[in-house]
Amino acid sequence: STRVADHSGISAAVIAGDLALFNSYRLIDRSGADDQTRARLLEVMDDALFASAAGELIDVDFQISTEVPRVDDILTMERYKTAVYSFECPLQAGAILAGASEDVVSTLGDFGREIGIAYQIVDDLLGVFGLEEETGKTTIGDLREGKRTVLIAYATSTREWTEVAPLLGDPELTDAQAQRLRDVLIDCGARSFAEGLARYYANRSLARLAEPHISPALRAELHPVVDSVLGRVK
């Protein structure tokens, strides 16, 4: 049955994640780096794992709460859930392995935080307005789940939202009802707000690259990352 298949798939994914986490520490231990470098890498990795776990737990709490969280609270969750392990940790780990200064390591963490938040906002936009053939994910799933995103947090503060509020989180949501939700998210300004917020955080990430201790070569390497993130939303 679908329920058994879902349970089996989720269980396999959790086990695979546990194995990947274990192996990541093993790779650090066998990296050949000196003791000081390994200790610094482990510190960054520990911070990332704790932050990610906190972000996931906050997200779970948001989904079961009857109240929609504030935009700022959602951004905090998205930073912990996505930005830390997807951007901050990898960038800092690479800098540490390359022997970069602590100023560079710190600034790359700041860059990763800003672009990671922008990435997650864009991902939330694509989860509702994206093209399934391009994203590989359904654009009705987040609406059926009632996923708490900046789109929804903004929309619930507008008068247009009251007429469609009961539709969000309906597991039987139809395609027509989902389109009605999308129309309201556009009409009430939620989509424009989220797109502007993504650009704001992307610009903040670019500002971090303007720091004098960031080399031109590193700046040139990371600029396309920002372009790629924003380029996902047409």
Q: At 77, is the pLDDT very low, low, confident or very high (cuts 50, 70, 90)?
A: very high
Tokens standing for 211? 């720091």
> What's the rounded Cα separation, in Å, for the pair 156 and 191?
13
pLDDT in tens, 41-71: 999 999 999 999 999 999 999 988 888 899 9
Answer yes or no: is pLDDT of 234 > 70: no
Q: What is the pTM of this model?
A: 0.89
Nearest to 143 by CA among 120, 176, 168, 166: 168
**For 187-207, what is the mean pLDDT?**
97
- CATH number given to 31-231: 1.10.600.10
CB count, 10 Å around CB of 226? 20
Token pair 């609406």 in the structure block, residue: 143
Nearest to 153 by CA among 114, 199, 198, 194: 194
pLDDT in tens, 78-128: 999 999 999 999 999 999 999 999 999 999 999 999 999 999 999 999 999
Structure-model confidence comparison of residues 66 and 76, the more confident one: 76
Residue type, 201: Y
Domain residue extents for the chain: 1-30, 31-231
In the prediction, which pLDDT does 219 show? 95
In the prediction, which pLDDT does 91 show? 97
